[in-house]
Structure 1
Amino acid sequence: MTKLIEFEAQATAIQTAPTICEEPIRYMEMFRFDWGSAERFIPWSDRSWNCGLFKISCGEAAGYAEYALPSTREFADLVRWASVFARLRGMPVTEAIRYAQKQQQWGSTRMLLAVSALADLEADLHQHVTRERLGSLPLERSFLMDCSQAYYFF
């Protein structure tokens, strides 16, 4: 009888415990690198591109996606361009991925950037690995701030 009660208690705990990917997105950061930094970490970049990093955080985990956007009027205002991502804040990661995949009105560049960063976040939640680099790019926040000409926290 005791074993049955223990089993039922464990089953209830498993059913009520949130899954890893149900933790809500807490904040996001968008770094636009200055041209010298972009050239160091994104070798093919030049002054006709705005290059940077999108970071989505949830608990202790973070997902990253690099971006390269043409230096055109459409992409000039980082805050305006990235503000659509604010809708993801507070969503569980799995819900945010489904939501971002359906946002054709964002345009393919923003949609793919969000899905990429969210997929990276989901992988980090499952792996529990503290990353120090994304390819050749160091992920230390102070370093990223030093390399950035624009920054948006939301």
Structure 2
Amino acid sequence: MNAGKSKITAIELFRFDEVLSEQRSHERNGFCGLLLIAAADGSCGYLEFELPCRCLRGDLVQWAAVFQRIKGLTLTEGMAYIRLQQQVWGIDRTQLIETVLLKLNRCERWKGCDRAYLFDHSQAYVSF
């Protein structure tokens, strides 16, 4: 990704249902999901994650709403914004979004499972 030109165009967050979580999870007191970020140049960063339930205060939409602020920013601008917010967001949220943005920088393209399967096995979905 050309950090100076290509802007973040989409952010998607899936919270896996019990079936998919059991396949992916090692911890029973957490929640699992997938965060995807796409840029105008076609690159896409993604990360499957597992976080303790204590990290999710409120519902997934409230938890993920902070991510919408980076939509429309370049990678460089997005990373700078995240660093400004890290104390408010907490370490788990900050590390998750930073990791996905770093993968976006490497122009990694998502080669995940079928999207229909993913939607069928998600308890919640958020898109910005």
TM-score normalised to structure 1 length: 0.73
Paired residue for 2:11, among 1, 18, 28?
Answer: 28
Spell out the pairing of 1:97-108 with structure 2 (5 A cutoff).
97-103=79-85, 104-108=87-91
User: Aligned partners of 2:117, 2:66: CA distance in 1, in Å?
Assistant: 26
SS of equivalent residue, structure 2 residue 106: helix
Alignment partner, residue 59 of structure 2: 77
Q: CA deviation at 1:35?
A: 1.4
Alignment partner, residue 31 of structure 2: 50
2:63 pairs with 1:89: no
AA of the residue aligned to 1:53: L
User: Alignment identity in percent?
Assistant: 35
More helix by share: 1
Corresponding residue pairs, total: 125
Which ranges of structure 2 fall in alignment gaps of 5 or more residues? none
Which ranges of structure 1 fall in alignment gaps of 5 or more residues? 1-18
SS of equivalent residue, structure 2 residue 8: coil
Alignment partner, residue 132 of structure 1: 111
Structure 1 residue runs of 4+, over 4 Å off? none
RMSD: 1.9
